[in-house]
Amino acid sequence: MVAPAQALEKLNKKLKTEWKTAFLATFVIGLLIHLPMLLLDIPNHDGLDSVYFDQNMITSGRWFLTVACGFSTYFTLPWVIGLLGLLFLSGTSVVLTELFELKDKLTIVLVSGLLVSFPALSSTFAYVFTLDGYMLAMFLAVLSVLLVKKYRYGWIAGAVCLACSMGTYQAYLSFAVILCIYMIVLLWMEKTAWKDKVKASLRYLYMGAAGLALYLIILHSLLWIQGKELASYQGINDMGTIAGNGLFASIKNCYADFVSFTGAGKILYNNVFSGLAVIIFAICLIAVIVLICVRNKWWKRPGFYVALVLLGLSLPIATNLILIISPFVTYHLLMRYQWVLYLIIAVDFVSKYAQERAVPCKECIACMKKTGGCVAGWLEWAMTVAAVMLIFNYALTDNIAYSNLEKKYEKTYAYCVRLLDRIEQTEGYYQGIPIAMIGVVGDEQYPVTDITGTFTGNMIGMGGDSLLYTGANYQAFMKHYLGATLNFLEPEVMNDIYYSEEYMEMDSFPGKNSVRVVDGIMYVKTENKNRN
């Protein structure tokens, strides 16, 4: 039996330097950017009721989530969950490094930096109670593609990984699909027999089809065993059906959303510096494609133009697959992590082109003598500078969001302390009295003070002034952060009270008449006084 120290030493020797670089770069950069969320217990609106949550969300199609989140227990422990999430994400970076066959350390660091800084991750950190499970899901989605590439029958194991990834969070399906498309593109750029290319390409299709089928089989089997049905939340009960206006409308929606989010989503870029960086990315990528096209005389082949058209048509759909799977989903930033792949793929593609010119050809030597440098070298420099600009900008955006989330918590805490005091001091109050409350915070008596809207407007759970949107939010906040257990009425019971004359005539908090007892029920009005 080999001693633990010797086993670790042997393992260390087997690990590639590129893997170590990717892992450490992702983990260290991740800590530098996201440390505030690991050190502070700052909930968002969903986190208020998830201080302990067993993550059994099979009715949302996430049958593997309870397993994926089980490593950190089901308590919200930001430090533990955050570290586990970063470890899984670092593993994802390692898999991407192997998938792209990256050798250059700088390129590996840039890819890792983009992956761990993209604002979709900070939005996921706002839901820290489920972060580790989601990061494991992403790892499995990327691993599924690597298994197909590395092994002849890897598509079978890849299908299992993809099914478990979807069983944790369906949105990362797009991650796998975009990577599969990129691998197929690189495959067809190689000078090998077209029959071999077709066979290799089909394996990615086999993996995707088998993974989706396995996911659905397990899902419906578990639903049947537990006697449950898919919930209507986020349109998940329509998953796999062509709902709404039909398939054409869903596809059209995919293109419209892709253009809208890419061009005006204020995530890929939100200021002149990040905008310039994205433009440089696009220019470098297009320039590389043109140079390769000219060098290989692809512009003479009709198939090249057909491939470009097919690629342009397929990528928006691949990116927005969630809109096909669940047409009525509320498509927020947690589901848009896959956009970072376009930046990562651009870095990889330009890097590959530059590495191919490490030994200059006659044309490159002539070009270097004429221009004073190799075009590929200039492109790689431009891409490197642009990537660093984006990573820095994303890191700032993440921390602006975290800063506002902390302020939201502080404002909510101060507001609830005052409200709880008013409730307890109102005549007729007693422990356990039924409380009727809609739950929103009025903006007439409490004007908006959030100044981060430009940066956090599309970052779900991070923008705004308050964590409170429903009576349940108030109930959870006061229970977990103020130590007060209140008896709030269920929303369906509130309908008659909401339209009653007594409630309509009340002031909004902190108005003098904003809390009162009517027929044994305490009415608490926090919304705008003059509602429409």
What does 77-134 look like in DSSP terms, one character per residue? Answer: -HHHHHHHHHHHHHHHHHHHHHHHT---HHHHHHHHHHHHHSHHHHHHHTTGGGHHHH
Residue 5 lies in a domain: no
Residue 121 lies in a domain: yes
Q: What is the pLDDT of residue 359?
A: 43
Residue 2 lies in a domain: no
Residues forming beta bridges with residue 253, ordered by sequence position? none
At 62, phi and psi to the nearest 5?
-105, 70
Q: Are residues 393 and 455 in the same domain?
A: no
The residue among 125, 143, 192 whose CA lies nearest residue 460 is 125
For range 487-495, the mean pLDDT: 85
Residue that terminates a domain, selected from 359, 385, 402: 402
Q: Are residues 25 and 106 in the same domain?
A: yes
Contact assessment for residue 163 and residue 211, using Cβ atoms and an 8 Å cutoff = yes
Residue 74 lies in a domain: yes
Q: 9 falls in which pLDDT band (50, 70, 90)?
A: confident
Q: Tell me the three state secondary structure of residue 524.
A: strand
Place of tokens 């080999």: 2
Q: 248-296 pLDDT, tens per residue?
A: 888 888 999 999 999 988 999 999 999 999 999 999 999 888 888 888 7
Q: Are residues 245 and 347 in the same domain?
A: yes
Radius of gyration of the chain (CA): 26
Using DSSP, how many helices (H) and how many strands (E) does the chain show? 21, 4
Residue 10 lies in a domain: no
DSSP string, 1-29: ---HHHHHHHHHHHS-HHHHHHHHHHHHH
Tell me: pLDDT of 12 over 50.
Answer: yes
Cα separation, 457 vs 461, whole angstroms: 10
For range 467-479, the mean pLDDT: 89
Q: What is the pLDDT of residue 368?
A: 45
Q: 524 falls in which pLDDT band (50, 70, 90)?
A: very high
Q: Provide the domain count of the chain.
A: 2
Tell me: pLDDT of 347 over 90.
Answer: yes
Q: Are residues 397 and 436 in the same domain?
A: no
Burial of 292 (C-beta count, 10 Å sphere; 0-12/13-18/19+): middle
Structural domain boundaries enclosing 121? 15-402
For range 37-64, the mean pLDDT: 90
Q: Is the peptide bond before 360 cis (omega within 30 degrees of 0)?
A: no
End-to-end CA distance of the chain: 76
Residue that terminates a domain, selected from 359, 387, 402: 402
CA atoms lying within 13 Å on the CB side of residue 81: 27
Within 10 angstroms of residue 436's Cβ, the number of other Cβ atoms is 20
Parallel, antiparallel or unpaired: strands 521-524 and 515-518: antiparallel
Q: What is the pLDDT of residue 340?
A: 97
Cα separation, 128 vs 134, whole angstroms: 10
Q: What is the pTM for the complete model shown? A: 0.91
Residue 530 lies in a domain: no
Residue 99 lies in a domain: yes
**At 273, which amino acid appears?**
F
For range 392-407, the mean pLDDT: 95
Give the containing element (helix H, strand E) for 419. helix 375-425
The residue among 420, 454, 450, 453 whose CA lies nearest residue 435 is 420
Q: Are residues 382 and 474 in the same domain?
A: no
Tell me: pLDDT of 302 over 80.
Answer: yes
Angstrom distances, CA of residue 322 to CA of 13, 234, 237, 450 = 41, 11, 13, 31
Q: Are residues 419 and 391 in the same domain?
A: no
Residue 7 lies in a domain: no
Q: What is the pLDDT of residue 364?
A: 55
Contact assessment for residue 439 and residue 433, using Cβ atoms and an 8 Å cutoff = no
Angstrom distances, CA of residue 91 to CA of 38, 95, 96 = 19, 6, 9
Q: Are residues 260 and 201 in the same domain?
A: yes
Q: Are residues 360 and 495 in the same domain?
A: no
Burial of 497 (C-beta count, 10 Å sphere; 0-12/13-18/19+): middle
Tell me: pLDDT of 373 over 90.
Answer: no
Tell me: pLDDT of 433 over 90.
Answer: yes
Q: Are residues 208 and 333 in the same domain?
A: yes
Q: What is the pLDDT of residue 353?
A: 76
Q: Are residues 261 and 285 in the same domain?
A: yes
Q: Are residues 127 and 230 in the same domain?
A: yes
Residue that terminates a domain, selected from 402, 426, 446: 402
Q: Are residues 237 and 321 in the same domain?
A: yes
**At 172, which amino acid appears?**
Y
Q: What is the pLDDT of residue 237?
A: 55
Residues forming beta bridges with residue 517, ordered by sequence position? 522
DSSP string, 443-503: SSSS------HHHHTTSTTTSSS-S--SHHHHHHHHHHHS----EEPPGGGHHHHHTSHHH
Tell me: pLDDT of 371 over 50.
Answer: no
